[in-house]
């Protein structure tokens, strides 16, 4: 059977097998060319009258002690303060002691 006649069981398009499919659920999911890019990897030319937009990003990082200090200075009631929980972190911060089922103070 010619490759043009093969139908993918993942996306129902002709010309490839599921193992070679770039669509979600395929064996090469997300590995295909991105939209707006050519096969050789070059981006399409932009017209001369196209304006480029630059968006500055502001990145912030706080430690739990920074957050506690800021929340205290803003006079936010404890019960209205949010918790900072990061599943990849080794420590977490919650300003409301009543939210804990067990508590061991560290000195």
pLDDT for 22 beyond 80: yes
Q: Which of 32, 14, 13, 12 lies closest to 22, judged by CA?
A: 32
CA distance linking residue 87 with residue 102, whole number of Å: 19
pLDDT at position 23, please? 87
Q: Bigger pLDDT: 77 or 5?
A: 5
- Which bin fits 25, alpha (ψ -120 to 50), beta or left (φ > 0)? left
Q: Bigger pLDDT: 90 or 71?
A: 90
Task: Quote the DSSP letter at residue 20.
Answer: G
pLDDT at position 69, please? 67
Average pLDDT over residues 74-91: 69
pLDDT at position 67, please? 59
Average pLDDT over residues 82-87: 69
Confidence tier at 100 by pLDDT (50, 70, 90): confident
């Amino acid at each position: 059977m010619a490759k043009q006649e093969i139908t993918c069981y993942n996306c129902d398009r002709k010309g490839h097998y599921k193992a070679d499919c770039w669509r979600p659920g395929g064996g090469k999911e997300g590995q295909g060319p991105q939209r707006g890019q050519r096969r050789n990897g070059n981006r399409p030319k932009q017209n001369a009258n196209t304006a480029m937009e630059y968006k500055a990003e502001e990145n912030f990082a706080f430690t739990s002690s920074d957050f506690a200090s800021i929340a205290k200075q803003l006079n936010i009631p404890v019960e209205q303060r949010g918790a900072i929980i990061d599943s990849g972190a080794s420590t977490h911060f919650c300003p409301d002691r009543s939210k804990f089922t067990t508590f061991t103070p560290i000195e």
